[in-house]
């Protein structure tokens, strides 16, 4: 592939979790293209497995799609350098009211969520041997915790009821991991 090179990055907007930039990209033919870029500090998520084998899921409203979504527990890192396991451990307890020991959390998969325009990565872990704790949601966060059999979640993916990319990837990776 011929060389493509970013020659400028200009901030356009800074939000609470994203910063939007306009990038100037030198194309192989000499033209300069303008590309949007969203910077994100990264995130972590957990496939949380109860002792009975059911997976904990969270149901919450998502503004981008203007509807409720069923997802694995997840959240942003506090800063880009925070280890994914630390964020996953925190989010498990915050969102579900369960915890585990960090040594019982196993890496499952790492994703880049929207590779064409955003650098967000999500480190996804499997957690089992869950221990009841206390849910403590972030301000403005409202969600319901539910549990499902793996087979139910796979069917919900294929029927289009679950469309969140991190959840789809995590559930399908966990299906292989378990086998």
Catalytic residues: 139
End-to-end CA distance of the chain: 39
Paired with 122 in beta bridges are 43, 111
Give the residue among 62, 29, 81, 85 at the shortest CA–CA distance from 167: 62
Question: What is the 3-class SS of 134-158, one letter each residue?
Answer: CCCCCCCCCEEEEEECHHHHHHHHH
Measured CA to CA, the distance from residue 8 to residue 45 in angstroms comes to 33
Burial of 32 (0-12, 13-18, 19+ CB in 10 A): exposed
């Amino acid at each position: 592939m011929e060389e493509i090179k970013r020659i400028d990055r200009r901030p356009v907007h800074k939000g609470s979790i994203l910063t939007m930039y306009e990038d100037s990209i030198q194309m192989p033919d000499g033209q300069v293209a303008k590309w949007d870029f969203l910077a994100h500090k990264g995130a972590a998520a957990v496939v949380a497995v109860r002792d009975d084998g059911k997976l904990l899921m969270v149901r919450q409203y998502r503004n981008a799609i203007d509807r409720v979504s069923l997802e694995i527990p997840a959240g942003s890192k506090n800063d880009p350098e925070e280890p994914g396991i630390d964020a996953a451990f925190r989010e498990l307890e915050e969102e579900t009211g369960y915890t585990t020991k960090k040594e019982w959390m196993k890496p499952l998969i790492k994703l880049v969520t929207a590779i064409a325009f955003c650098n967000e990565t999500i480190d996804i872990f499997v957690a089992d041997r869950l221990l009841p704790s206390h849910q403590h949601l972030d301000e403005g966060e409202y969600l319901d915790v539910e549990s499902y059999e793996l087979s139910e979640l796979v069917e919900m993916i294929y029927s289009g009821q679950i469309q969140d990319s991190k959840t789809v990837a995590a559930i399908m990776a966990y299906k292989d991991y378990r086998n």
